[in-house]
Amino acid sequence: MKYGYARVSTVGQDLQSQIETLKSEGCKVIYNEKFTGTRTDRHEFQKALAALVKGDTLVVTKLDRFARSAGDAIQIVRGLFERGVKVHILNMGLIENTPTGKLIFTILSGFAEFERDMIVERTQEGKAIARQRSDFREGRPNKFTKAQILHALQLLETHSYKQVAEKTGISKSTLVRAKRKEAQVTESALL
């Protein structure tokens, strides 16, 4: 039987294209999760590995969905081969349990790990350059301007949180945080 495994790194990413691709490859059971590949405790991946028996095939769309490093990939594939399980990585092909198949897989795993490391390095370099700017702020930019938040807080004087949220589009939790922050600023100014 063919088992599929789909993974994206963040909650905001979409699994649907991977799942559709795995279905079109004939996977009867598809395990999926939204988890960074650098984590070792990928529960759905562990379930997929546990479900596989001799003669089954594990299908993933790309090598980087499968393992967190070349060493990890080689260890997982070796374990699956020992159990008589085939591995099909769609952007590479069927990984064969032959000396040539193992060599090609090892080389491609090394390149995949290298590519991932290069992405991390470029990201860190970009962040280091950005931190040098005086206007740099870590994290996601604010969705609303200070003026919009201030206006919403003024509306709270005569309206409920729900009414203000409906009028401004600013969530109740954001309003509560802004109100708390305003109270702290006022309190510290009085001291």
Nearest to 80 by CA among 100, 57, 113: 57
What per-residue string of b and e applies to 55-79 under the rule 16 or more CB within 10 Å gives b? ebbbbbbebbbbbbbbebbbebbee
Catalytic-residue membership of 171: no
Distance of CA 68 to the CA centre of its chain: 12
Cα 92 to Cα 109: distance, rounded to the nearest angstrom: 10
Cα 60 to Cα 138: distance, rounded to the nearest angstrom: 34
Nearest to 105 by CA among 56, 137, 142, 71: 71
- Tokens 């909650």 sit on residue: 11
Q: Do residues 31 and 48 touch, judged by C-beta distance below 8 A? A: yes
Catalytic residues: 9
